[in-house]
Amino acid sequence: MSNLALCDCDSFYCSCERLFRSDLTHRPVVVAGNNDGCVVSRSKEAKPIIPTGAPIHEYRRQLQEYGVVVFSSNYALYQEVSSRVQSVMSRYTGKQEIFSIDESFLDLSAIPPGERAAAMSELRGAILHEVGIPVSIGLAPTKVLSKLASHVAKSLPEGVHGFADAAAADDILSITPCDEIWYVGPARSRQLREEMGITSGLQLKRADIIRIRRRLHVPVARIVCELRGIPALPLHTSAPARKEIMCARAFGKLVTTLADLQEAVARYTADATRRLLAGHQVCGTLSVSLMTNGFRTDLPQYRASCIVPFDRPTNYIPDLITAARAAAAQIFKPGISYYRAGVMLSDLDSDTLIQGSLFADDPDDKQRRLLAVIAAIEAKFGKGAIYFAATGGSSPPWAMRQNQLSPRYLTRWSDLPVARA
């Protein structure tokens, strides 16, 4: 019985960019990832022109020839559109797993089986009408099959497809190579082919599950169960507690001075700490890593990292920034052109464990008040309204390249879409 649905936004980043650009409705659009490096989203029209993940600079000629419009990733826009889409979905289910920024699994068991497909058509219409984002929805008894159903749905004008039971997916599975099945991936599908002669999804479904488990371990055995219609991947309705938080980015241009490096790692620390605070967590260890660009064989290569343990777990931004700057200074080597830096917060714990001091003049209380004031200012005036001077101004020299960034239509008053009156 298909009691699960996967709701997947079509070319999500491109669809967000088109929402406020009616001139792009039928034009090929792509969105580039960090530093405008590789393609992370393609509109339907752009798919024959450039492969996913392709480096933009290698395709300049084709992009120009076909008039492809290229955008930098506007995460502020995508996140806000995504939360509106998720919010519409939540009207149709009590249990929802937000799998990624553009995909959610919905538990449909509260809807009578005969009405589920119609309800999902209605949901698809509601998201398109209210938020303006096209989605495809697959219904099936398990996650892996619902993902497959959503792929089928993408090629259908109605955008919704269901497998009533596992057998209904057999025709599609027989023409689906293993690496296109969710969770399998290229490495495992190579292993399946070489060691067991399995190439199609249908062969995988009918494979000897004991042999699969012995050769390729439990994760692939779970996929086999899911293909047979037996749920083996449960629905996660709340995000699991994170074990570490990573903020690592390549610089917009190579960095050579300690001052710039320290500013960058301070910024990454502030961004990582914002996530730490949002999850009501503290961290016991901070580590900073630096590296050069491995492709620049003309330059000296270097990579290093430094770990800073704290006596007491903390989420106090000034302390974390101080630690990150000191760590960067320790591993900095002059005469090197740095390409990328990363900050990782680990040994995470819930912040309730350090709250509730008996004494009013407890220094922790003062720190908590400062963090609360910063959070309140950011909530009222937006991110960037207040920042630590150590994290650099609004456009430091090392900042990510985002040359084709669209306005932050939904999160800045200065960036509202314009209608001609």
Partner 1 sequence: MPEPTKPTTGFPNPATDHAERNLNLHQYAVRHEEATFFWRARGEAMREAGITDGDLLIVDRFVDARPGDVVVVAVAGEFLVRRWRREADGALLYTEHPDYPPLVISSETDYQIWGTVIWVLHNPNRRRR
Nearer Cβ to partner 1, position 87 or 257?
87
333 Cβ neighbours under 8 A, 6+ residues apart: 302, 304
CA 197 – CA 264 distance, rounded (Å): 49
CA 241 – CA 309 distance, rounded (Å): 21
142 Cβ neighbours under 8 A, 6+ residues apart: 4, 166, 225, 226, 227, 229, 230, 231, 232, 233
Q: Which amino acid is at 263?
A: E
Match 């047979």 to its residue by tokens: 228
State the nearest-atom distance from the C-beta of 77 to partner 1, in Å.
12
Q: What is the DSSP letter of 48?
A: T
CA torsion sign, 213 to 215 to 218 to 219? negative
Nearer Cβ to partner 1, position 253 or 408?
408
Torsion of the alpha carbons at 333, 336, 341 and 344, rounded to the nearest 10: -30
Q: List contacts with partner 1 (CB under 8 A).
A: 20, 22-23, 84-85, 87-88, 129-132, 373, 376, 409-410, 416-421
State the nearest-atom distance from the C-beta of 85 to partner 1, in Å.
8
Nearer Cβ to partner 1, position 369 or 383?
369
Nearer Cβ to partner 1, position 23 or 194?
23
Instruction: Please give the backbone phi and psi of residue 286, each rounded to the nearest 5 degrees, phi first.
Output: -125, 140
State the nearest-atom distance from the C-beta of 91 to partner 1, in Å.
9
State the nearest-atom distance from the C-beta of 239 to partner 1, in Å.
21
- 383 in the Ramachandran plot: left (φ > 0), alpha (ψ -120 to 50) or beta? beta
Nearer Cβ to partner 1, position 29 or 282?
29
State the nearest-atom distance from the C-beta of 394 to partner 1, in Å.
21
CA 177 – CA 198 distance, rounded (Å): 9
State the nearest-atom distance from the C-beta of 104 to partner 1, in Å.
14
Instruction: Please give the backbone phi and psi of residue 123, each rounded to the nearest 5 degrees, phi first.
Output: -60, -45
Nearer Cβ to partner 1, position 386 or 416?
416
State the nearest-atom distance from the C-beta of 418 to partner 1, in Å.
5
CA 162 – CA 152 distance, rounded (Å): 9
Structure tokens at 305: 């990292």
State the nearest-atom distance from the C-beta of 250 to partner 1, in Å.
34
Instruction: Please give the backbone phi and psi of residue 7, each rounded to the nearest 5 degrees, phi first.
Output: -105, 115
Nearer Cβ to partner 1, position 239 or 418?
418
Nearer Cβ to partner 1, position 82 or 314?
82
Structure tokens at 10: 């079509």
State the nearest-atom distance from the C-beta of 315 to partner 1, in Å.
20
CA 309 – CA 373 distance, rounded (Å): 27
Match 């669809």 to its residue by tokens: 15
State the nearest-atom distance from the C-beta of 182 to partner 1, in Å.
28
Burial class (CB in 10 A: 0-12, 13-18, 19+), 358: exposed
